[in-house]
Amino acid sequence: MTIKKLSDVFEAYPKSTADFMRERGQCFYIPAYQRPFSWGRENIERLVDDIVHGLDQLLQRNDATAFIGTLITIHDTDYTTIDPLVRAQVPSKVMTVIDGQQRLTTLLLLNMVLHDELTNRHLRFNRSNDDGSKWLYQQCLQTLSELRDTLEEDMSHGDGDYQWYPRMTRAYLDRWSRLESEAQYESDIANLLHQYGKHCRSDDSGTFQPTGDRPLGRSYETVRRIIRSAIARETHQDIDFPDVTGFGDAGYLALTLFNDELPSAVTDALGDSTSGKFAELFRLLAFGRFALHRVAVTVVTTRSEDYAFDMFESLNTTGEPLTAFETFRPRVIREEGHSEYQGSMAYDHLSKVERYLEQFEKAQSRLAATSNLLIPFALAESGYRLSKRLSDQRRYLRNTYDNSEPAERNIFLENMSHTAELLEGAWDKNTWSPSGPSLIGLEPLDTEEKLCFDVLQSTNHRIAIGVLTRFYSAQRHGDEVDIGIVLRAVTAFLALWRGAKGGTSGIDAAHRDLLSKGRPDDGFSALARLVEGSDPPDVATVCAYFRLALQDEGLDTRDAWAAAASNIAIYDHNKDLARLLLLAATHDTTVDPTRPGLIKRARQGVLPLLNYEKWMDGGNVTVEHIAPQNPGDGSGWSASIYRDTGMKDCLGNLLLLPARANSLISNRAWEEKRLMYRILAARNREEIEKAHVEMMDAGLDVASDVLVNNDYLPIVAGVAAYNDNWNADIISQRSHLLCELAWDRLSPWLSIA
C-alpha cells in the first residue's frame, strides 16, 4: 500500500484575495449544512476596518498586509459534494467551503460595491484633459477588470448572460450551466452575483439596486453605506481612513498599490482638496487596490470532507489566545535575566499590571481588559493610537521597549503599572474601595474629584484615561502637577462639548491630538511622554488646550454655549450627562421670585448638589420629565412641546426627583404634577397640609405619603411655583437659564473666567 504524503492530505498556502478569487476556472460551493450568511454591520465594519488599518500601516511599513484568517476548502475533483450537478457544465475547479463562508461572502459583497462605485464615478475623469484625471481613469479601468473577475467566471460561451458563472453557489438552490434551461441561481449569493453581472452588461449605467427583498440584498446596501461613509466621504465615526495627502510621500506605497509612482498632478489634486470627487474616487481606488492585492488569506485545501473537518476542529480548538501583555512579559524577563528578574523594579511594575488583569478570569474579558489598559497607555506614552488588534498591541509593546534605553524601559514599565492602578482604583467600579474611587499612592480624592471619575466612567468616556494616566504617572514620579485639576478640566470639557453637541463626534480626536500633536501654532507641544519635543505635563496647558478646542467650535463663551446647549435633547443623547448638567445648574440655587418657574444663583452652601454623595444617591436624585415623553391621549399637555421632537428631552423639561416620587408622578397631567411638586417643595408642615388639601380638592387620590415623607426638595420649588400652562415657551426659558447656570458652575474647571 502506498503511504500518503502530507501534501496528499492537505495543502496550505497564503494568497492575496485577488489571486485566490480570480483564479482561472475556480468557483466556490457552499454545502447544504452551512448556515446562511449571518454577518451584520459590526462584522462587516470590522473587516473594512481591518483593511483600512492595513492600508494605514502601509504608509509606515512597505511590507504591511491585512491578514483576515484561514479558509478551509475541499478541492472536489470528483464533484461528490455538488448537488444538483450538471457534470459537463461544472467549472474546472470547484472549491467546497468548509470554513470561511462569512468572510468570503463579505469579500464578494465588498468587491461588488467597489466595482459599482468605481463604475459610476470614473467616467467623468475620462472627459478631462489634465494628467491627474487621466491617470486616475486608467487605474480605475485596471481595477474594475480585476474586481469583475472576482465576481464571475467567464466560460467563453453560453446562452447570453449564462456565459458567466457566479463565483459562489449554494447546494440544492443553484446549478452552474451555460444553458439557460439548466442554469439555476436561487440562493441569495448566486442570485445577487448573477443580477449584478447582468446589470454590468446592460445599458443601465446607474447605481446597482438588488431586486427582491432578500437578506443578502440588504447586506449589500449595508456594505455600500459603510464604504461610502468610511472610504469615499470619510464620515464614519469608527473607521478612520488614512490621510491621502501623505500617499505621495511614501513612494513604495504607490508602487505597491498601483505599480506606478503617483504623478505630481495627482498629489497636487489631493493636496488641493480631500473632500472633492477626485479625492473620493482616489480613496475608493486605493482601498480597492489594497483589498485585492494586500489582503491575505491562508487557504487550507484538503482532498476529502473528513480531512477538512479534522483540520477545521484542529484550527478552532487550539486554546485561549494570549493577550499582548502575556506575550510581552517573557520579553522583559529575558532582558532582565531570569535570576535577577524576581528582585527587579521591572518585576514590581509588571506584577501590578498582572494583579489587575488576573481579576478578569474569562479569556474574552481578559483580552478586553488588556486592550482597555494598553490603548490609553500607548496614547499617554507615545501619542500612538493603538488598535484593539493583538498584533498591533504586541508590536507596540515590543518595539517601544526594545528601542528604549534601560532607564527609559523602566519608566515605560512603571507608567504601564500606573495605568493599571488608575483603572483599578478609580475607573473599574468592581475594584473600587467602599468609599468610592481613589488614586493609589496619592492623597484621597475630594467629593468633586470622585464625582468626576464616576461621571467619566458612567458616560463611558474612556478616551479621557490617556490624559489622566499621563498626569497620574507624572504626579507619582514627583512632578509638581495636580491630577485633580486635570480631572475637573476633562469632566468639564466632556460636559460642555457634549452638552452643546449632543453626540461624541470630535471629542476623541481632541484628546488624541492633545497627547500626540498639541497645538504648535498656539504654542502647545504634544503632551505624550515619548513624542519628540513634547512638553512636560502642565495642568494649565490642558485647560488652555480644551478652551481653544471649545473656541474652535464657537462654544467658549457663556452666551454662545447656552444658546447651543439649550436646544439639545440631552436626555436622549446621554441620561448621565443630563443628570450632571442638572446637578451643576441647580447647585446652590433658590427660587427666583421675580420670574415664576425659574431659579437663580444663591449663596454657597444653600443647596449643595454637585458632589459625589448626591451623584451616587440614585434613590433620591433621578431625572424626571416634567412634560412626559409619551403623554396619553387627552392628557392636556401643550401641543407646542411635542412639535419639536427633541424639546421634551432638553434640559428645560427635566427635573431631579426621588425615585419613588418620580414613579408616582410619572405621566400625569400638568395640573396634577404641579400640586405634587408643591408638596415636595413645601418647607414646613403648614405648607405641606395646604398643598395636600389642594391636591384632595382637585380629586387626586394618590399615595401622598410618598410625597410627604420625602425631605424638603427646594430643587423643585421653582417649577412648583409656576402657575401657568407648561408649554414650549417656559421650557425654552428654563432650558436657557439652566444652561447658563451649568456653565457658571463648570467653566471655572477649565479656568474660564
* Residue-by-residue DSSP string for 12-43: EEEEEHHHHHT-TTEEEEE-TTSPPP---HHH
Q: Where are the alpha helices (H) located in 12-153, listed in sequence order? A: 17-21, 41-58, 101-122, 131-151
Residue type, 129: N
Q: What span, in angstroms and rounded, lies between the C-alpha atoms of 424 and 78?
A: 60
Q: Of 111, 120, 123, 117, nearest to 148 (Cα)? A: 111
Rounded Cα distance between 527 and 514, Å, is: 6
Q: How far is 507 from 513, CA to CA, in rounded Å?
A: 10
Tell me the whole-structure pTM to 2 decimals. Answer: 0.64
Whether 531 contacts 521, CB under 8 Å: no
Over residues 496-521, the pLDDT tens digits come to 999 999 989 999 999 999 999 999 99
Nearby residues of 152 by Cβ (< 8 Å), 6 or more positions away: 164, 165, 166, 167, 193, 197
How many whole angstroms separate alpha carbon 226 and alpha carbon 220?
10
Distance, in Å, from the CA atom of 177 to the CA atom of 159, rounded to the nearest integer, reads 9
Integer Cα distance of 474 and 414 in angstroms: 11
Q: What are phi and psi of 145, to 5 degrees?
A: -65, -45
Q: Record the cell numbers describing residue 403, joined without a space.
A: 528601542
The grid coordinates listed for 107 are: 469579500
The pLDDT value given to residue 317:
41
Q: How far apart are CA 530 and CA 411, in angstroms?
A: 11
Alpha carbon distance 76, 28 (integer Å): 10
By the 10 Å C-beta count (0-12 exposed, 13-18 middle, 19+ buried), 638 is classed as middle
Hey, what long-range contacts does 555-561 have (CB within 8 A, 24 or more apart)?
A: 555/496, 555/497, 555/500, 556/752, 558/740, 558/743, 558/744, 558/747, 561/496, 561/499, 561/500, 561/739, 561/743
Q: Are 655 and 661 in contact (CB under 8 A)?
A: no
What gap in Å lies between CA 646 and CA 36, rounded to an integer? Answer: 40
Which of 291, 223, 249 is CA-nearest to residue 42? 223
Q: Is the distance from CB of 232 to CB of 280 less than 8 angstroms?
A: yes
State how beta strands 174-175 and 184-185 pair.
antiparallel
Cα within 13 Å of Cα(125), Cβ side: 26
Cα separation, 412 vs 400, whole angstroms: 9
Does the CA dihedral 458-461-462-468 come out positive or negative? negative
Separation between Cα atoms, residue 304 and residue 96, nearest integer Å: 10
Residues of the chain with pLDDT under 70: 1-9, 33, 80-81, 274, 305-322, 338, 684-689, 691-692, 695-713
Residue with cell 468592581: 430
Note the residue count of the chain.
753
Query: What is the C-alpha separation between 471 and 577, in angstroms, rounded?
Result: 24
Please choose, from the candidates 466, 468, 332, the residue with its C-alpha nearest in 3D space to the C-alpha of residue 386: 466
Report the b/e string of 702-727 with b at 16+ CB within 10 A.
Answer: eebebbeebeebbbbbbbbbbeeebb
First to last CA, the chain: 91
434 prior amide bond cis, ω within 30: no
